[in-house]
Structure 1
Amino acid sequence: MSSINIVGLGYIGLPTALMFAKSGLKVVGTDYKKEIVDSLSQGKLFFEEEGLKELFEAAQANGIEFSTEYFKTDTYILAVPTPYIEESKKLDPVYVISAVKSVLDVCEKGAAIIIESTISPGTIDRHIRPVIEERGFVIGKDVHLLHAPERIIPGNMVYELEHNSRTIGADNLEVAAMIKELYASFCKSDIVLTDIRSAEMSKVVENTFRDVNIAFANELAKICRNDGMDVYEIIRIANKHPRVNILQPGPGVGGHCISVDPWFLVGDYPDLTNLILSARKINDSMPEHVLGRIRDIMREHNIKDITKVGLYGLAYKENVDDTRESPTLQLLERMDEHLAFGVKVFDPFVKEQMVDDQVMDFKKFINEVEIVVLMVGHDHIKENMDLLKDKLVLDMKNISELEGVYKL
């Protein structure tokens, strides 16, 4: 193995590239966005993550390179976006197909093409093999196809890259074993070898499992709200049972995994995914539920000015700056639909202006609103909870112990 070309330098591709480089392998990271490549080449990270700066410095010391061009080598890892098509809910493979075509333009004979992007079961058979065969390549001889889905979460990426189990799917287990050694350069946990379709399915199933369980907690919250019960107390008691582990409800599901991957199964198996579809609808309905709770509080306190409402948190989870599919952004879209403009927004991790009426200073944000809606449980707000004692607080994350707090 001469070197690795990692394609896609986003939340998954960049930490992966840095980890391989830190482990002593020659790595070239490729991204079509020149601003990302220029930033990294100048030693500047474009998102924050625990331990990422130190990992970046170690990778730089080992000579990692960044480019907008694909590199001629024998090993490629593709970590490109895999969205779903809104109408059909099926995976949109356009970015993966484009990356594979670009690899075929430059790769060495016998190169391994490893797709890390999350894809629906059968994607490689339906979309990738035909592209390769149309170019006259013999799969298993001229190129080798593998799927090694990532399993990391923003906020803990560096640790999970090293300590989470990996799955490698391949046509040929001997090739899979070679790639296993590649990942074993940094992965300290089990690395499971299987066929490609099983690898595709297992990753989608993992995130769908989590989505369904979150949906149960969210539906339970709605039931309890309807009948005046404390959902958190009920979950606390129920979880005393040794075989019960109900998750905590929340304002919605965000990120690029749990809120997206279950749709792949719904799109591909529409007649067989009733439970999964229901779970997706429940979780997607939560921002609307939050909006209803905001209206309730405004009516109760005779507040007619929506500009007196402040949403704390733009990220999709605590202590990260990742806003992809965030419940707050979903809520703002619904507010726009109701012509309710002017709601204030603040997030200590989001440094750039993303939405209208985003306030960049926390004290200014607090001073301008009467209702604070806690959408994300950043450590920052936990440490500054006393500043909310004179506000009406709608706590969507069950983190506040202030008196009179409104809950989900």
Structure 2
Amino acid sequence: MDLSALGPEELSRELRAGGIRIIVYGLGLVGSTLAAVWLRFGAHVVGIDRDPATAGRAAAGEGPAGEPLVSEAFRVGLSEGRFRVVPDEGEIEARPAVRFLAVPVTWSDGRTVLNYLEDAMEAAVGHSRSGDAVVVKPTVPIGTTRRLARDAAARAGLRLDDDLMLIYSPERISAGRAVLDVEEHYPAIVSGIGPRSTKLAEDLHGLVARAGVIRMSSMEAAEAEKMFEGVYRDVNIALANELAKVADAYGLDFEEVRRASNSQPYSHIHSPGLGVGGTCIPVYPWFLVDNALGRGLVPELTMTARRINLSMPEFFASMADREIGGLRGRRVAVLGLAFRGDVADSRLSPTYDLVLELLRRGASVIVHDPLIAEDDSLRAMSVALTGDLGTALRGADVVVVATDHSAYRELDGDSIRSMSGGSPLVMDTRHVLRPDRMHGIRLRQFAGHTQ
């Protein structure tokens, strides 16, 4: 079956009937979300993941933490016989398929790590038949999709855009709302290696993206679009951190200034804080650096922004050291391990660097998070993680609010004094706490309220 020859109605009918199968390589947040979106559409989906724990959770109808729509879709798909999880595509019967590659692409030791994507591309192309499609989802440096697919297709004896449709459509999701981001919140960015692939990309994504589809002129343009999104946000957050430091030095409330500045439609200053976490914003600037240096360019602003955001944990540890008159021997309770409020995701969280800086200054540290129960990285530092605020605050000399979890907005001076047994210094790096509720507490908000 030539998928590119089908119109949207025929695609829809075949997907729902199981004549065309959706196969998702990688069942992390992105892959699980894609599988769930297509299950909710009514398609027949196969999830592939080599990690036994990840595969086992999906096969039991359990999606990533904090994504209830994913788990619900998995359970419905399993009960209706439309969802399977296997470690390798060789375990299922051949059928026309769209293969989504949703494996991680990271940055380590000064280079882009493509191992997972290279392996997934090789496997997906190797299992493809004439007329099938491969869709690449992770954010990658410019030129990656074309290069990896060209090499894999040559080894498989397939011609791209003739025998095999190749699509690049970057994921655009945030933890905690992933399914609705795909279905409702954002247009799908699509591109193809040729006209047939591009047509299929538009028709396919148009079935599930109610916010519409934006067709790019090339896969390289689509790769750049997603990368530039992340770089913009990293640079803007770095600017906010720099401006907030100036406001702090003058005793100004940065939020007041920011809101007034953003009343002008050309100003869109982001919020400052402890730093930038997750596997997107802290990583994509390095992809841009890689691309730029490869063409003889030095992206100085991008690199400076990265340095500023990476420096924020040290900045706050130094602030705490000054405010308390030395951290050595002090007990510090860090509130929040997740990189963003109300998500159970600590990947590349700036809290880790804050903990290291506090330990380096001789403090005793305990971390609280209402959504994360265990963490190997903290365990390796011999730092306790607890979900009980009373345990975290007991005996604390310093409390640092590192993550903007909703649970922390309910804290007040009386509860902090009661749980800590004293009157600790409270440092709010995210403007979470309400100063009017911090009676009897020494509150230090970054570029905000001090009492």
Q: Which residue of 2 aligns with 1:406?
A: 444
Q: Which residue of 1 aligns with 2:71?
A: 53
Q: Which residue of 1 aligns with 2:6?
A: none
Range that drifts further, 282-291 or 385-394? 385-394
Tell me whether 1:14 sits opposite 2:14 in the alignment.
Answer: no
Which of 312, 315, 319 matches 1:293?
319
Tell me whether 1:43 sits opposite 2:61 in the alignment.
Answer: yes
Q: Which residue of 2 aligns with 1:224?
A: 247
Q: TM-score when scaled to structure 2? A: 0.84
Question: Matches of 1:154 and 1:385 in 2, distance apart?
Answer: 28
Question: Matches of 2:261 and 2:332 in 1, distance apart?
Answer: 34
Please identify the structure whose Cα radius of gyration is greater: 2
Give the 3 Å change call, closer, same or farther, for CA 16–280 of structure 1 in structure 2.
Answer: same
Q: Which residue of 1 aligns with 2:113?
A: 92
Shift, 1:169, TM fit = 1.0
> Number of residue pairs matched?
402
Q: Which residue of 1 aligns with 2:281?
A: 258
Which of 251, 257, 260 matches 1:237?
260
Question: Matches of 1:327 and 1:245 in 2, distance apart?
Answer: 23
What one-letter code is carried by the residue in structure 1 that aligns with 2:152?
A: V
Question: What percent identity do the matched residue pairs reach?
Answer: 27
Q: Which residue of 1 aligns with 2:154?
A: 133
What one-letter code is carried by the residue in structure 1 that aligns with 2:127?
A: V
What SS class does the counterpart of residue 124 from structure 2 fall into? helix
RMSD over aligned Cα atoms: 2.0
Shift, 1:185, TM fit = 2.8
Range that drifts further, 55-64 or 344-353? 55-64
What one-letter code is carried by the residue in structure 2 that aligns with 1:283?
A: N
Tell me whether 1:305 sits opposite 2:329 in the alignment.
Answer: yes
Shift, 1:181, TM fit = 2.7
Tell me whether 1:124 sits opposite 2:145 in the alignment.
Answer: yes
Give the 3 Å change call, closer, same or farther, for CA 223–50 of structure 1 in structure 2.
Answer: farther
Tell me whether 1:69 sits opposite 2:88 in the alignment.
Answer: yes
Shift, 1:234, TM fit = 2.5
CA contact (8 A) 2:275 2:350 kept: yes
Tell me whether 1:365 sits opposite 2:392 in the alignment.
Answer: yes
CA contact (8 A) 1:15 1:157 kept: yes
CA contact (8 A) 2:22 2:44 kept: yes
Tell me whether 1:172 sits opposite 2:194 in the alignment.
Answer: yes
Shift, 1:340, TM fit = 3.7
Q: TM-score when scaled to structure 1? A: 0.92
Q: Which residue of 2 aligns with 1:111?
A: 132
Q: Which structure 2 segments of 5+ residues have no match?
A: 1-18, 418-422, 447-451
- State the Cα deviation string for residues 136-185 of structure 1 (Å, max 9, x = none): 32222232211110101112212211111111110223332223332233
CA contact (8 A) 2:240 2:270 kept: yes
Q: Which residue of 1 aligns with 2:402?
A: 375
Question: Matches of 1:342 and 1:311 in 2, distance apart?
Answer: 11
What SS class does the counterpart of residue 190 from structure 2 fall into? strand
Shift, 1:326, TM fit = 0.6
Question: Matches of 1:353 and 1:96 in 2, distance apart?
Answer: 26
Question: Matches of 2:123 and 2:351 in 1, distance apart?
Answer: 36
What one-letter code is carried by the residue in structure 1 that aligns with 2:201?
A: I
Shift, 1:392, TM fit = 1.9
CA contact (8 A) 1:93 1:127 kept: no
Shift, 1:275, TM fit = 1.1
Give the 3 Å change call, closer, same or farther, for CA 99–372 of structure 1 in structure 2.
Answer: same
CA contact (8 A) 1:255 1:316 kept: yes
